[in-house]
Amino acid sequence: MKDKILLLIYLILLVFISLLRSLDVLLISLVVLFLVYLILPLKINKIKSLKKVFFTVSLFSGIVTLPYFVAGFFMGENRWNYFFAINLRTFELAFLTVIFLSKINLFKALDFSKNLTILLVLVSGFVVIYSKTLKDFQDAFNSRTIEKKVQIQELRNYIKRVVVFFFEKSKETSQETYLAMKSRGFYYDNT
């Protein structure tokens, strides 16, 4: 029951933070979340997860908010408020997610729905398999490039191979999962 209540609180806070518009309120709530993150005894490596949060927000900022900001700059528009608001909100949502995922057992929180539980089991299984496969790719690449400097072309080829492999593997796995679920009675035909 505790996990369901925490999940409900998380979802409410997620919506609340998404609706915040004032930069002052966003900044204050980010500081509060960061202090909660530092004070709470979490079952995770805080430094490592903090690096992941910064990396994720930086990646999001570089792909979404920065191009929008630069386009506005060349059009003569002031988009500083948008830039800061979106990035502060993204930091807050990332911190909130890290805090709650370390406190909530998702399997217990979603056990009210058989379909959500099955979906969570499938997704978590694929995450474990794919993360191990990615680690194997990284180890293989590192073992081939110990003695020499990594050439840009080698890195591009490596990234291309990994992306193509995961697309093909995802397609293959989804087809197998679909057939397995269909054979177990989870088939819905809307025709």
Using one digit for the tens of pLDDT, what is the confidence trace for 112-127?
A: 888 888 888 888 888 8
The domain tally of the chain equals 2
* Domain-embedded: residue 167: yes
The pLDDT, as a whole number, for residue 93 is 92
* Domain-embedded: residue 169: yes
Q: Clarify whether residues 177 and 91 are in a common domain.
A: no
Question: Which of 108, 141, 175 lies at the terminal end of a domain, its last residue?
Answer: 108
Q: Clarify whether residues 136 and 75 are in a common domain.
A: no
Q: Clarify whether residues 117 and 97 are in a common domain.
A: no
Q: Clarify whether residues 101 and 117 are in a common domain.
A: no
* Domain-embedded: residue 189: no
If DSSP codes are grouped into helix, strand and coil, which group holds residue 120?
helix
The pLDDT, as a whole number, for residue 161 is 92
Q: Clarify whether residues 74 and 10 are in a common domain.
A: yes
Question: Which of 85, 108, 131 lies at the terminal end of a domain, its last residue?
Answer: 108
The CA distances from residue 76 to 56, 70, 79, 80, 170, in Å, are: 29, 10, 9, 12, 43
CB 112 within 8 A of CB 4: yes
Token representation of residue 55: 């990396």
Low-confidence ranges of the chain (pLDDT < 50): none
The pLDDT, as a whole number, for residue 191 is 58
d(CA 4, CA 1): 5
Q: Clarify whether residues 97 and 12 are in a common domain.
A: yes
Q: Clarify whether residues 7 and 94 are in a common domain.
A: yes
The pLDDT, as a whole number, for residue 174 is 84
d(CA 169, CA 95): 31
Single out the residue of 103, 94, 101 nearest to residue 55, CA to CA.
94
Q: What is the pTM of this model?
A: 0.70
Q: Clarify whether residues 59 and 131 are in a common domain.
A: no
DSSP 8-state code for residue 185: T
Q: Report which residue type is found at 112.
A: F
The pLDDT, as a whole number, for residue 132 is 93
Q: Clarify whether residues 59 and 78 are in a common domain.
A: yes
Question: Which of 108, 138, 159 lies at the terminal end of a domain, its last residue?
Answer: 108
The pLDDT, as a whole number, for residue 25 is 92
d(CA 127, CA 143): 24
Domain that residue 94 falls in:
2-108
The CA distances from residue 16 to 9, 13, 160, in Å, are: 10, 5, 39
Q: Clarify whether residues 103 and 126 are in a common domain.
A: no
Rg of the chain, C-alpha, whole Å: 21
